[in-house]
Structure 1
Amino acid sequence: MKKRELLQGTVSDYTYDGMGVVKVDNFTYFVRGVLLHEEIEFLILKRNKKLGYGKVERILKESEHRITPSCPYYPKCGGCHIMHMDYEAQLDFKHRIVKQNIQNIGKLDIDVRKPLASNTSHYRNKAQFPAQGHPFAMGFYRLRSNDLVDIDTCLVQSELIDTIYAELRTIKNTSFVDDVRHVLIKHAFVSGEVMVAFIMRKDHKEEIAAFMKPLLDRYPIVSLLQNINTRNDNVILGDHIDVIDGKAYIVEELDGLKFQISLHSFFQINPKQTIHLYNEAIKSANITNEDRVIDLYCGVGSITLFLARQAKHVTGVEIVAPAIENAKINQQLNQMDNVTFICSDAGTYANKIVSSKKYPDVVFVDPPRKGLDTLTIESTVKMKPRTIAYISCNPATLARDIAIYKEHGYTCEYVQPVDMFPNTYHVECVVLLQRAIS
Structure 2
Amino acid sequence: MKQKPPVHKDQQIEYEITGLAHNGAGVGKYEGFTVFSPLAVPGERVRAKITQVKKSYALAELMEVIEPHPDRAEPVCPIFAECGGCQAQHLSYPAQLRLKRQQVMDSFERIGGLQGVIIHPVIGMENPWRYRNKAQVPFGRRDGKVVAGFYAPGSHVIIDMDACLIQHPENDRAVAAVKRLANELDIPPYDERKHHGVLRHVMVRVGVNTGEMMIVLVTNGEHLPHKKALVEQMKSRFPNLKSIVQNINSKRTNVILGPVNRLLWGSETIHDTIGPVRFAISPHSFFQVNPAQTKVLYDQVRKYAKLTGKETVIDAYCGIGTIALYLAQDAQAVYGVEIVPEAVEDARHNARLNGFNHVHFEVGAAEEVMPRWLKMGIKPDVIIVDPPRKGCDPALLEAVVGMGPKRVVYVSCNPATLARDAKVLDEKGYQPVEVQPVDMFPQTGHVECCALFIRNDK
Amino acid at match of 1:73: I
The structure 2 residue matched to 1:147, chosen from 137, 143, 157, is 157
After superposition, give the CA deviation of every residue in 1:223-281 in whole Å (9 maximum; x if it has no partner): 01111111111121122221111111101111111100001111000011000000111
Amino acid at match of 2:406: R
Instruction: Tell me the equivalent position of 1:163.
Output: 173
Q: CA RMSD in A?
A: 1.6
Tell me the distance in 2 between the aligned counterparts of 1:166 and 1:176: 14
Q: Secondary structure at the match of 1:198?
A: strand
- Structure 1 pair 415–215 and aligned structure 2 pair: CA distance change class (3 A): same
Amino acid at match of 1:197: V
Aligned partners of 2:231 and 2:264 also within 8 Å: no
Aligned partners of 2:318 and 2:338 also within 8 Å: yes
Q: How does 1:24-173 map to 2 (within 5 A)?
A: 24-48=30-54, 50-109=56-115, 110-118=117-125, 119-133=127-141, 135=144, 136-170=146-180, 171-173=182-184
Q: Secondary structure at the match of 2:36?
A: strand
Q: How does 1:243-282 map to 2 (within 5 A)?
A: 243-282=263-302
Aligned partners of 1:393 and 1:426 also within 8 Å: yes
Q: Report whether the alignment pairs 1:295 with 2:315.
A: yes
The structure 2 residue matched to 1:346, chosen from 359, 366, 379, is 366
Aligned partners of 2:187 and 2:225 also within 8 Å: no
Instruction: Tell me the equivalent position of 1:355.
Output: 375
Q: Secondary structure at the match of 1:358?
A: coil
- Structure 1 pair 245–353 and aligned structure 2 pair: CA distance change class (3 A): same
Question: Shift in Å at residue 370 of structure 1?
Answer: 1.3
Question: Shift in Å at residue 357 of structure 1?
Answer: 4.2
Tell me the distance in 1 between the aligned counterparts of 2:287 and 2:293: 12
Aligned partners of 2:311 and 2:380 also within 8 Å: yes
Number of paired residues?
438
Flag structure 2 segments of 5+ consecutive residues without an equivalent.
1-6, 189-196
Q: How does 1:3-22 map to 2 (within 5 A)?
A: 3-22=9-28
Question: Shift in Å at residue 111 of structure 1?
Answer: 1.6
After superposition, give the CA deviation of every residue in 1:347-393 in whole Å (9 maximum; x if it has no partner): 11112133334311111111111111122111111111110111011
Q: Secondary structure at the match of 1:156?
A: coil
The structure 1 residue matched to 2:228, chosen from 183, 206, 209, is 209
- Structure 1 pair 88–227 and aligned structure 2 pair: CA distance change class (3 A): same
- Structure 1 pair 305–50 and aligned structure 2 pair: CA distance change class (3 A): closer
Aligned partners of 1:228 and 1:240 also within 8 Å: yes
With normalisation by structure 1, the TM-score equals 0.96
- Structure 1 pair 202–45 and aligned structure 2 pair: CA distance change class (3 A): closer
Instruction: Tell me the equivalent position of 1:367.
Output: 387
Moved more, 53-62 or 209-218: 209-218
- Structure 1 pair 371–49 and aligned structure 2 pair: CA distance change class (3 A): closer
Tell me the distance in 2 between the aligned counterparts of 1:25 and 1:225: 54
Tell me the distance in 2 between the aligned counterparts of 1:403 and 1:2: 37
Q: Secondary structure at the match of 1:209?
A: helix
Instruction: Tell me the equivalent position of 1:175.
Output: 186
Moved more, 19-28 or 307-316: 19-28
Tell me the distance in 2 between the aligned counterparts of 1:415 and 1:223: 39
Runs of 4+, deviation exceeding 4 Å? none
Tell me the distance in 2 between the aligned counterparts of 1:179 and 1:173: 15
Aligned partners of 1:415 and 1:430 also within 8 Å: yes
% of aligned pairs identical?
36
Question: Shift in Å at residue 49 of structure 1?
Answer: 5.3
Aligned partners of 2:278 and 2:354 also within 8 Å: yes
- Structure 1 pair 48–193 and aligned structure 2 pair: CA distance change class (3 A): closer
Tell me the distance in 2 between the aligned counterparts of 1:231 and 1:27: 40
After superposition, give the CA deviation of every residue in 1:47-95 in whole Å (9 maximum; x if it has no partner): 3554332222211211111111111111211110111111011111111
Aligned partners of 1:106 and 1:399 also within 8 Å: yes
Tell me the distance in 2 between the aligned counterparts of 1:6 and 1:228: 46
Amino acid at match of 1:115: V
Aligned partners of 1:185 and 1:195 also within 8 Å: yes
After superposition, give the CA deviation of every residue in 1:148-175 in whole Å (9 maximum; x if it has no partner): 1111111111011112222222112323
Q: Secondary structure at the match of 2:330?
A: coil
Amino acid at match of 1:150: D
Tell me the distance in 2 between the aligned counterparts of 1:402 and 1:428: 15
Question: Shift in Å at residue 205 of structure 1?
Answer: 5.3
Aligned partners of 1:205 and 1:244 also within 8 Å: no
Instruction: Tell me the equivalent position of 2:194.
Output: none
Aligned partners of 2:317 and 2:385 also within 8 Å: yes
After superposition, give the CA deviation of every residue in 1:116-151 in whole Å (9 maximum; x if it has no partner): 102311100001111123543211112222121111
- Structure 1 pair 17–315 and aligned structure 2 pair: CA distance change class (3 A): same
Aligned partners of 1:284 and 1:432 also within 8 Å: yes
Instruction: Tell me the equivalent position of 2:396.
Output: 376
Aligned partners of 2:217 and 2:247 also within 8 Å: yes
The structure 2 residue matched to 1:324, chosen from 324, 327, 344, is 344
Flag structure 1 segments of 5+ consecutive residues without an equivalent.
none
Question: Shift in Å at residue 21 of structure 1?
Answer: 2.2
Q: How does 1:420-431 map to 2 (within 5 A)?
A: 420-431=440-451
